[in-house]
Amino acid sequence: MVKRDREFDILLKEFLKTEGKNFPSKEEATEVFERIYNLVEENYEIDVSLSDLVDAIDEGDMSIVDKISALRELHEGNRDALDRAVELEEDIMYSDNDEDAEQMIIADVLAEYYSKAGMNEEAAKLYELMLMANPTDFHEVIDLLTLIYVRLDRENLLMDHIDCFDYEDSEATLLLLSIFSINQEKFDEAHYYMTKLKKLNKYVGDIFKGGFNKVLDYIIGNPGNAKGINKEKYFEMTFSAGIAKEYLTNKYHYEWLEKFYREEIERRVYLIVEGRLNISKEMMKEDPIFKGMEKQLNKFIDAELYNKEIIECYTEKELKKLEGIGVGIIKKLQDNGVEFKED
């Protein structure tokens, strides 16, 4: 309990004068000040930094709604460095001003509370701002923004987002893309992303070792000093599982993910998904196997025959069963060097 003496009252008055505008009420500002006052030694001059304020709000006894309100006020009054970095296309983390970095801390904690409260639109805007102000860092923010886009079911935003970095090297992104594809009922794509995740990090299998009832233990567990373990890779996988916790602890998602982990994907399916995601009509126009068939490319796209590698996974008999692929097209493909799979 804070002793309310003359010194306390003087310092509180000054605090309310300079920082009170960042709080929704005088009572909440006073509560935060009391927490800060308890942290300083007797006769020590109180110099309240932005990070001190954030810590006091974060650790305070206010409701999540009141914390969001206080943090939002603090953010709106201290975001000039973020906006300036975005406008000038500079990286805020190279700033010599400590308060610039503290503005990132405010935004980060506020975005986390937005996310906890299900305020995903608001969280997305903050994470987007943080990435624009600090494009060379904040890998965790990249993953958290991916999660928010999955929650919001925003495919265009999600795809644009992952195009900005090498997502195939990110365990969290591949796991979330598999989950997103399950939500979209694009199960071949979910299987594709899980296959890529298996190739990237063998420890993904640990998620499924104990079954659904043990997955939470895995997420919060620690490998300790287990022999032969690659701790960096293990950490990346447990961190990614933590990001996707709300889905891994949902039985529907868990069982689909486990199915795709345990089953090998058919090569033709893998190539088709890869073509669907990565090959455009313009790229197909430049492919010599489609020479003389430029006006018929839509037929190939509809049949998901994006390149030679996919087409050669089919027998001639199988191709003839695909809509739009007749004898004439098959003859031209052969003339262009395609060798069909043997019956």
Per the CB < 8 A criterion, the answer to whether 136 and 165 are in contact is no
- For residue 30, count other CB atoms closer than 10 A to its CB: 15
DSSP 196-218: HHHHH-GGGGGGGTS-GGGHHHH
- Give pLDDT, residue 34: 79
What pLDDT does residue 155 have? 96
Q: Tokens for 140?
A: 């965790």
> CA-to-CA distance for 70 and 66, rounded, in angstroms?
6
Tens of pLDDT along the chain (343 residues) come to 555 666 677 678 878 888 878 788 888 888 888 777 776 544 444 456 788 889 888 888 888 999 999 999 999 999 999 999 999 888 887 888 888 889 999 999 999 999 999 999 999 999 999 999 988 776 889 999 999 999 999 999 999 999 988 899 999 999 999 999 999 999 999 999 999 999 999 999 999 999 999 999 999 886 655 678 898 999 999 999 999 999 999 999 999 999 999 999 999 999 999 999 999 999 999 999 999 999 999 999 999 999 999 999 999 999 999 999 999 999 999 999 999 999 8
The encoded tokens of residue 180 equal: 């997103």
Q: What is the pLDDT of residue 154?
A: 95
Which residue, 158, 164, 64, 76, is CA-closest to 115? 64
Please report the pLDDT score of residue 43 as a whole number.
45
User: How far is the C-alpha of 305 from the C-alpha of 325, rounded, in Å?
Assistant: 10
| Pair of tokens at residue 279 | 């090959």
Name the 3-class secondary structure at 315.
strand
> Residue 40: its pLDDT value, please?
55
- Amino acid of residue 250: N
What is the torsion angle, in degrees rounded to the nearest 10, for the CA atoms of residue 51, residue 76, residue 8 and residue 49? Answer: 20
Rounded to the nearest 10°, the torsion over CA 152, 157, 161, 162 is 80
pLDDT at 44: 45
Q: Which residues of 79-103 are buried (b: 16+ CB within 10 A; e: fewer)?
A: bebbeebbeeeeebeebeeeebebb
